[in-house]
C-alpha cells in the first residue's frame, strides 16, 4: 500500500525567486516582473514564459547501427548498377603499384566480382559491424577507416603490379581482429567479460575461415586479408591505448 500526505499550498505561499536568482536559473528575460493580476493569480498575457531545455544524446539508441546498414546498402546498390550497366565499375578499384589508382582505397571496398562475392562478405560485415557499433557510430567509423586503409595499402604494396583489388573482405578481417583483442584494452571487469564473450564468439564462428582466408591462394587477395587483420588489431590498440597523464601546468 502506498501512503501519501495530502498537502496544499496557497498561491501566496508559493516559492518565489529574487530577480537575480531568476536570471541565474531561467535566463535574463525571466526576471521581468508582471504586476497585472487577475483573481489573485499572475496574468500570463504577453509574458514570456521561461522554460528549461534539455538535450538527449540519442546515439546510444538504434542510430548507432545506421552506418553498418548504410555501407551495406551502398555495396548492394553499386553491384546492382555494375550488373546493369555495360561499363565495368571494377576498373575503378585499387590497382597494385599504380599511384593513380589510390582513390581505390575508398572505392574498392564497395566493388565486388559478383553477387556471390558480395553475399559472402555481407553477413560477416553485418554481424561483426553491429558488434563494433555497440560502442557507438563514431567507434564504428574509426575502426572501419583504419582497417580499410591498412588493408588497401598493404595489398597495394604486396600484390603483383597491375592487379585489381576489390571487395570488403579486408575490412571484415579488420573487424575480426579488432573484436578478437578488444578485451585486452579495458580495465573494467564487466566490459572485459563482455568483450571476451564477443571475441570468443567471433573466434569460434569465423576463426577457421579467417585463417583459411589469409593463406596464399590464387585469385584471392590474401594480402588484403592479412593487413586488414593487422589493421583491426592496431585499431584496438590505437583507440583504447592508455595515454599518459598530461603534466600539470606550471
Residue pLDDT, tens place only, 126-143? 999 999 999 999 999 999
Buried b (16+ CB within 10 A) or exposed e, 15-24: eeeeeeebee
Mean pLDDT of the chain: 82
Residue listed under C-alpha cell 576463426: 207
219 is in which domain, residue-wise?
Answer: 59-240
Q: Which three three-digit cell numbers place residue 133?
A: 557499433
Residue 32's pLDDT band (cuts 50, 70, 90): low
Considering the domain architecture, whether residues 73 and 159 belong to the same structural domain is answered as yes
Give the mean model confidence (pLDDT) for residues 40-67. 59
Is residue 4 assigned to a domain? Answer: no
Is residue 77 assigned to a domain? Answer: yes
Is residue 6 assigned to a domain? Answer: no
Q: What is the pTM of this model?
A: 0.73
What is the radius of gyration, based on Cα positions, of the chain? Answer: 29
Whole-number pLDDT of residue 250: 43
Considering the domain architecture, whether residues 24 and 125 belong to the same structural domain is answered as no
Q: Residue 240 pLDDT more than 50?
A: yes
How many CA atoms lie within 13 Å of 72's alpha carbon, on the beta-carbon side? 18
Give the mean model confidence (pLDDT) for residues 216-225. 87
- 123 vs 15 pLDDT, higher one: 123
Q: Dihedral of the CA atoms 104, 108, 111, 117 (nearest 10)?
A: 150
Considering the domain architecture, whether residues 194 and 216 belong to the same structural domain is answered as yes
Is residue 231 assigned to a domain? Answer: yes
The total number of structural domains that make up the chain: 2
- 39 vs 147 pLDDT, higher one: 147
Q: Which three three-digit cell numbers place residue 22?
A: 531568476
- Distance separating alpha carbons of residues 113 and 26, to the nearest angstrom: 61
Considering the domain architecture, whether residues 40 and 70 belong to the same structural domain is answered as no
Question: Of the spans 10-14, 56-60, 85-89, 104-108, which averages the highest pLDDT?
Answer: 104-108
Considering the domain architecture, whether residues 173 and 133 belong to the same structural domain is answered as yes
Considering the domain architecture, whether residues 97 and 22 belong to the same structural domain is answered as no
Whole-number pLDDT of residue 17: 55
Amino acid at each position: 500500500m502506498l501512503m501519501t500526505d495530502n498537502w496544499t499550498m496557497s498561491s501566496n505561499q508559493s516559492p518565489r525567486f529574487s530577480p537575480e536568482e531568476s536570471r541565474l536559473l531561467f535566463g535574463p528575460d525571466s526576471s521581468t516582473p508582471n504586476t497585472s493580476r487577475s483573481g489573485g493569480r499572475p496574468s500570463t498575457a504577453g509574458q514570456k514564459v521561461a522554460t528549461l531545455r534539455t538535450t538527449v544524446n540519442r546515439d546510444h539508441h538504434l542510430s548507432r547501427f545506421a552506418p553498418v546498414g548504410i555501407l551495406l546498402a551502398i555495396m548492394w546498390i553499386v553491384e546492382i548498377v555494375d550488373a546493369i550497366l555495360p561499363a565495368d565499375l571494377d576498373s575503378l578499384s585499387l590497382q597494385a603499384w599504380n599511384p593513380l589508382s589510390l582513390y581505390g582505397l575508398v572505392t574498392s571496398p564497395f566493388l565486388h566480382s559478383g553477387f556471390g562475392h558480395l553475399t559472402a562478405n555481407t553477413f560477416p560485415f553485418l554481424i561483426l559491424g553491429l558488434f563494433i557499433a555497440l560502442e557507438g557510430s563514431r567507434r564504428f567509423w574509426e575502426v572501419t577507416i583504419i582497417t580499410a586503409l591498412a588493408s588497401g595499402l598493404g595489398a597495394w604494396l604486396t600484390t603483383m603490379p597491375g592487379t585489381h583489388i576489390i571487395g570488403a573482405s579486408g575490412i571484415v578481417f579488420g573487424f575480426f581482429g579488432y573484436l578478437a583483442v578488444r578485451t585486452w584494452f579495458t580495465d573494467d571487469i564487466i566490459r572485459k567479460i563482455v568483450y571476451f564473450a564477443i571475441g570468443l564468439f567471433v573466434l569460434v564462428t569465423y576463426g577457421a575461415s579467417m585463417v583459411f582466408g589469409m593463406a596464399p591462394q590464387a585469385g584471392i587477395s590474401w594480402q588484403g586479408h592479412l593487413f586488414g587483420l593487422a589493421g583491426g588489431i592496431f585499431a584496438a590498440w590505437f583507440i583504447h591505448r592508455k595515454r599518459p597523464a598530461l603534466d600539470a601546468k606550471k
